[in-house]
Structure 1
Amino acid sequence: MISVLIADDQHLVRAGVRMLCESTPDITVAGEAVNGAEALRLAERLQPDVVLMDLHMPGTDGITATRQILQVRPATRVVVLTTFDDDDRLYPALSAGACGFLAKDVSPSSVLDAIRRAAAGESPYSPTVLHRVVARASSNWNGEGDRRRETVHFTEREQVVLRLVAEGLSNTEIAERMHIGVTTVKTHVSNLMTKTDSPNRVRLAVLAIQQGLAGG
């Protein structure tokens, strides 16, 4: 059973996510928080597997709350709930330790899939949000790709995996696309992160674009 903490100051959002989670047998809502400070208190007390974190909340915001939660509960997976007004906050949230980003207008099935992927150790991203994060992060890491091109070499299969990561595909989707096992995909992604010193899939996506393996 995957336990979830919902942190959002909008009652309607919390109620909707709770109803969605309660409609499936493998996910349960451990608690709800209306601001970042409450999210931290509940995360410490309830020890949820996944936190769905809004960025716009009164008092302690979602970025600060994410950082504080992961300082005391590093095993917790924080997935940020975003809107189009959040672009300036997406990369700081990633730097704070968020494992993924989920647009608030995605389908119910995408929310459940993101929770399950986060709990399994993956990094769930809505493709549109990933592209926005990558666009901003690329400018922040300007020139880094040139240095990597001089020292890092990828096999043909690694290039394909990089391109698909940049498209926002999950490990399962990459496995289906490449007709290989999910475990093999996880190994490739892990090796790519080690080879490129990339801490997350967003960094890999940026690198793929800088390498000319995916469109920016």
Structure 2
Amino acid sequence: MIPVLLADDEAMIRAGVRAILAADPEIEVVAEAADGRDAVELVRAHRPRVALLDIRMPRLDGLAAGVEIRRLVPETAVVMLTTFGEDDYIVRALGEGMSGFLLKSGDPRELIAGVRAAAEGAAYLSPVVARRVIELGAGMLARVPAARERIESLTEREREVLALVGAGLSNAEIGQRLFLVEGTVKSYLSSIFIRLGVRNRVQAAIIAYEAGLTA
């Protein structure tokens, strides 16, 4: 079972998201919040596997709440619910360890896929907004050397792992693909993040895309 915290200040949005998630028998919404401050407290109380947060909320916005959750309960993956026109939030979230972005008006199947991916330790970008996120991330990383130069420091195996991160695979899936135990995959990822100077899977995925490691 994948326990989920759902936070959105609009009751109808929460009801809709809850109904979509209920279609998956392995996902359970264990708590709901109408603002970011309550979301943080409920995550501390319930320690869900995934926190699904609206970016814009009263008292504490979703990004600030996500940062606190990542600090206080690092085992909880944070996925942001977003709309178009929130580029500033997306740029900031890329550097704060969020596990993904889902478009509120997107395909309901993406919501379930995003929650499942985050629960497995993977990054997930809604296909509709993935291109925009990549463009924003590429612009954010434009101050450093080109991506192809950055990956030169990686070993062949690390490049293979990075390519699969860019393809959206979880640690378990990467391990199955490369015949590695999950702990070894985590060790490779730690090394990759250090070598590339990134903080999370989304930034690493952007570099993989820019370097041509993924389609």
Query: TM-score scaled by structure 2?
Result: 0.80
For residues 5-26 of structure 1, give each alpha carbon's deviation from its aligned partner in whole angstroms, at most 9, with x where no partner exists.
Answer: 1111111111011122223221
Deviation at 1:106, TM superposition (A): 2.5
Instruction: Judge which range, 191-200 or 59-68, deviates more.
Output: 191-200
**Cα root mean square deviation, aligned:** 3.1
- Once residues 178 and 12 of structure 2 are traced to their aligned partners in structure 1, the CA distance between those partners, rounded to angstroms, is 36
32 and 155 in structure 1: CA distance in 2 versus 1, 3 angstrom threshold = same
Which residue, 152, 177, 188 being the options, matches 1:181? 177
Q: In the alignment, what sits opposite 1:170? A: 169
Query: TM-score scaled by structure 1?
Result: 0.79
> Within 5 A, what are the aligned runs for 1:76-155?
76-146=76-146, 149=149, 151-152=152-153, 155=156
For residues 34-56 of structure 1, give each alpha carbon's deviation from its aligned partner in whole angstroms, at most 9, with x where no partner exists.
Answer: 11011112111121111101001
Q: In the alignment, what sits opposite 1:208? A: 208
- Once residues 9 and 99 of structure 1 are traced to their aligned partners in structure 2, the CA distance between those partners, rounded to angstroms, is 21
Percent of aligned pairs sharing the same letter: 33
- Once residues 69 and 34 of structure 2 are traced to their aligned partners in structure 1, the CA distance between those partners, rounded to angstroms, is 15
Q: In the alignment, what sits opposite 2:51? A: 51
157 and 140 in structure 1: CA distance in 2 versus 1, 3 angstrom threshold = closer
Question: Which residue identity does 1:152 align to in structure 2?
Answer: S
- Once residues 137 and 21 of structure 2 are traced to their aligned partners in structure 1, the CA distance between those partners, rounded to angstroms, is 32
Q: In the alignment, what sits opposite 1:8? A: 8
SS of match in other structure, 1:84: coil
Contact 1:171 1:182 in 2 (8 A): no
- Once residues 117 and 209 of structure 2 are traced to their aligned partners in structure 1, the CA distance between those partners, rounded to angstroms, is 24
- Once residues 115 and 137 of structure 2 are traced to their aligned partners in structure 1, the CA distance between those partners, rounded to angstroms, is 24
Deviation at 1:181, TM superposition (A): 2.2
7 and 117 in structure 1: CA distance in 2 versus 1, 3 angstrom threshold = same
Contact 1:3 1:50 in 2 (8 A): yes
Question: Which residue identity does 2:159 align to in structure 1?
Answer: E
SS of match in other structure, 1:121: coil
Q: In the alignment, what sits opposite 1:158? A: 159
Deviation at 1:158, TM superposition (A): 3.3
Contact 1:64 1:96 in 2 (8 A): no
Deviation at 1:194, TM superposition (A): 5.2
Deviation at 1:33, TM superposition (A): 0.7
Contact 2:95 2:199 in 1 (8 A): no
45 and 20 in structure 1: CA distance in 2 versus 1, 3 angstrom threshold = same
SS of match in other structure, 1:97: coil
Deviation at 1:93, TM superposition (A): 1.9
Instruction: Judge which range, 180-189 or 34-43, deviates more.
Output: 180-189
Q: Which has the higher contact order (CA 8 A, sep 6+)?
A: 2
Question: Which residue identity does 2:87 align to in structure 1?
Answer: D
SS of match in other structure, 1:74: coil
Deviation at 1:155, TM superposition (A): 4.1
Deviation at 1:156, TM superposition (A): 9.7
Unaligned runs of 5+ in 1: none
Instruction: Judge which range, 51-60 or 204-213, deviates more.
Output: 204-213
- Once residues 122 and 212 of structure 1 are traced to their aligned partners in structure 2, the CA distance between those partners, rounded to angstroms, is 20
Question: Which residue identity does 1:142 align to in structure 2?
Answer: A
How many equivalent pairs are there? 208
Deviation at 1:104, TM superposition (A): 1.4
